[in-house]
Amino acid sequence: MAEAALLCIGLIVATGIIHYRVLTATHRCLIRSGHPIQRRLLIVLVVIMVTHILEVLLYAVGYGIGQALNVGGFSPGPRLSAMEVVYFSLVTYTSLGLGDIFPQGHLRLMAGAEALNGFLLISCSASLLFILMNHEKEKLR
Model confidence over 45-62: pLDDT tens digits? Answer: 999 999 999 999 999 999
pLDDT tops 80 at residue 138: no
Query: Coil, strand, or helix at residue 94?
Result: coil
- What pLDDT does 139 receive? 65
pLDDT tops 80 at residue 79: no
How much is the pTM?
0.88
- What pLDDT does 38 receive? 82
Confidence class for position 2, pLDDT limits 50, 70, 90: confident
- What pLDDT does 134 receive? 81
CATH class, 52-141 region: mainly alpha
What 105-108 contacts at long range (C-beta under 8 Å, 24+ apart), as own/partner pairs, is 105/4, 105/71, 105/72, 105/73, 106/1, 106/3, 106/4, 106/66, 106/71, 106/72, 107/4, 107/63, 107/66, 107/67, 107/71, 107/72, 107/73, 107/74, 108/72
- What pLDDT does 40 receive? 84
